[in-house]
Amino acid sequence: MILNSCSMSPQPLSPHNFRDLFDSVEAFLFDCDGVIWKGDELIDGVPQTLDMLRAKGKKLVFVTNNSWKSRSQYADKFRSLGISVSQDEIFSSSFAAAMYLKVNNFPSQNKVYVIGGEGILEELQLAGITAFGGPDDANKTIDLKQNCFVEHDKSVGAVVVGIDPNINYYKLQYGTLCIRENPGCLFIATNRDAVGHMTALQEWPGAGCMVAAICGSTQKEPVVVGKPSTFMMEFLLKK
């Protein structure tokens, strides 16, 4: 994706107008999974392309819907692949979830329950928001006996759902209870992608699968903060 400083009507790209278009663009936005890398393998030509754009003075922003990692963890992954990227150049959906709550003045006395990875928890913590769940609930189970009853925290004011390879019935029930029974509890989805490039060899079920489960059990639609939401695009433009 490219952003330029002026409004331009769409036009076919050709060798004749490429230079004018390239020169008019100030920033390039890149997805990560399937664009920069697949799994832990760098895609051919990426380092050379990024080096060329930086040499031309272009601003680079890396935008990923994968909420499993935080921005700092993604910066580490870039470095492990031999690419130098600062945390400020990374915009993950885990960060987007934290920023959505922050800019909307999420009450300090409320908590967030996370169905997802450590990345969401870390970004929420950096934003000064109390959160729990995520990997800590990976091994929790439910024994569906007649008297089975799951207690939930009444101070939870938002449930954030992202990609979660450790999804289980306990997490689904806990998130459902918070959304259905806590007055005003927000339902936030990092994204609704059906599949993702989690490894180089296969596509895998994406965060949209986890989000769909909570949609079904609560009969509610989430606020989506990742691509292609207006929140993410507006936040990026302000930066």
Widest CA span in the chain:
73
Buried b (16+ CB within 10 A) or exposed e, 19-35: eeeeeebebbbbebbee
Q: What's the rounded Cα separation, in Å, for the pair 174 and 169?
A: 9
Rounded CA gap, 69 and 77, in Å? 10
Structure tokens at 168: 């289980």
- Under DSSP, the state recorded for 213 is H
The answer to whether residues 162 and 135 touch, using CB atoms and an 8 Å cutoff, is: no
Note if 26 is an active site residue.
Answer: yes
Is the previous residue joined to 15 through a cis bond, with omega within 30 degrees of 0?
no
C-alpha span between 102 and 100 (Å, rounded): 5
The single residue of 26, 41, 181, 221 carrying the catalytic annotation is: 26
Just list the catalytic residues.
26
